[in-house]
């Protein structure tokens, strides 16, 4: 009778398999776990060699697990939530159960990813009181100092502010055009392409608009403006040839799926924005804050198009 296999399974192996299932391929799973792709592949190869069986089909897109892989994935789905729950229970015992997260945002489109992230967080921390500070906030960091907010979602790090910044993700920003716009044939839009048309934006200061801050201002271009509070109104204006708008790809994707407008990259390299969660230093060590950042990163990475973790 052959000797029984000595167990080598660790939680990291189970997290690897679960991330591979969620992300769909090795590269995205490695990003989700903050590992290199080679380190992730090594973990899987170690498991496969130990058990003498492949865990997934290498050429399947999205990833398709073998029966052996499905069995270990079931173990991961059973064990990892219980481990995470136990860790949260320990944190509650050590740090107390009560908490509050009042969230201030400086971008109109943040709610597209923030609400799903909050839904995930509430299930994990039902005793933490979550709320969104109503209305658009031109100075969300100031609300932290006034103790009117606990977390501020911001696009830039200000090293002079005495707050902690937690990296969330980087995202693609695209230009939106009508199908019959004169620039519709272009592969991408340059700064000069914006000079001859109206730029449709939300009513926010220029330093909060990535296209102005990163593209137009450095080129000395200041096109005519038109503003609206509503994304749907912005896209209606674009479709009616009233101007060009720029939005994160996730905010425009439903309109693009319906072929309502066209999306074009901004500059040959593309335009990207970044988002951070800022908080007062004394909140950074709280387990529920750490989990809020982690769940926001994970939920956004898995559900938004063209998002990269910072």
- pLDDT average per 10 residues of sequence, the chain (310 residues): 62 90 90 90 89 87 90 91 84 70 84 88 88 77 92 92 95 95 94 94 88 94 92 94 94 92 94 95 91 93 90
Element at 21 (helix H, strand E): helix 11-23
Q: Which pLDDT does position 3 carry in this prediction?
A: 47
pTM assigned to the model:
0.82
CA separation for the pair 142, 72 (Å, rounded): 48
Strand partners, 81: none
User: DSSP strand E in the chain: where?
Assistant: 56-57, 64-65, 99-105, 128-132, 151-154, 164-177, 199-201, 225-227, 244-248, 262-265, 271-279, 307-309
Token pair, residue 21, equals 């299932």
SS3 state at 199 = strand
pLDDT for the residue numbered 1 = 44
């Amino acid at each position: 009778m052959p000797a029984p296999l000595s167990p080598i399974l660790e939680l990291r192996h189970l997290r690897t398999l679960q991330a591979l299932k969620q992300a769909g391929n090795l590269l995205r799973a490695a990003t989700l776990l903050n590992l290199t792709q080679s380190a992730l592949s090594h973990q899987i190869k170690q498991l496969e060699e130990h058990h003498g069986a492949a865990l997934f089909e290498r050429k399947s897109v999205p990833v398709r697990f073998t029966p052996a892989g499905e069995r270990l994935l079931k173990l991961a789905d059973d064990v990892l939530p219980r481990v995470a729950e136990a860790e949260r229970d320990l944190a509650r015992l050590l740090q107390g159960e009560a908490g509050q997260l009042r969230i201030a945002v400086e971008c109109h489109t943040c709610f597209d990813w923030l609400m799903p992230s909050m839904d995930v967080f509430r299930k994990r921390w039902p005793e933490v009181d979550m709320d969104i500070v109503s209305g658009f906030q031109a100075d969300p960091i100031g609300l932290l100092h006034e103790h009117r907010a606990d977390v501020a979602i911001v696009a830039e790090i200000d090293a002079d502010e005495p707050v902690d910044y937690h990296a969330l993700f980087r995202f693609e920003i695209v230009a939106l055009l009508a199908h019959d716009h004169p620039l519709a044939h272009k592969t991408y839009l340059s700064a000069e392409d914006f000079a001859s048309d109206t730029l449709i934006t939300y009513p926010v200061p220029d330093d909060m608009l990535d296209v102005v801050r990163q593209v137009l201002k450095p080129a000395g271009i200041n096109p005519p403006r038109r503003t609206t509070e509503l994304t749907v109104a912005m896209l209606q204006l674009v479709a009616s040839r009233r101007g060009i708008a720029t939005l994160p790809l996730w905010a425009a994707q439903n309109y693009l799926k319906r072929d309502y407008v066209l999306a074009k990259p901004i500059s040959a390299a593309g335009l990207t924005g970044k988002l951070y969660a800022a908080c007062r230093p004394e909140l950074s060590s709280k387990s529920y804050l750490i989990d809020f950042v982690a769940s926001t990163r994970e939920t956004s990475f898995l559900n938004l198009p063209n998002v990269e973790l910072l």
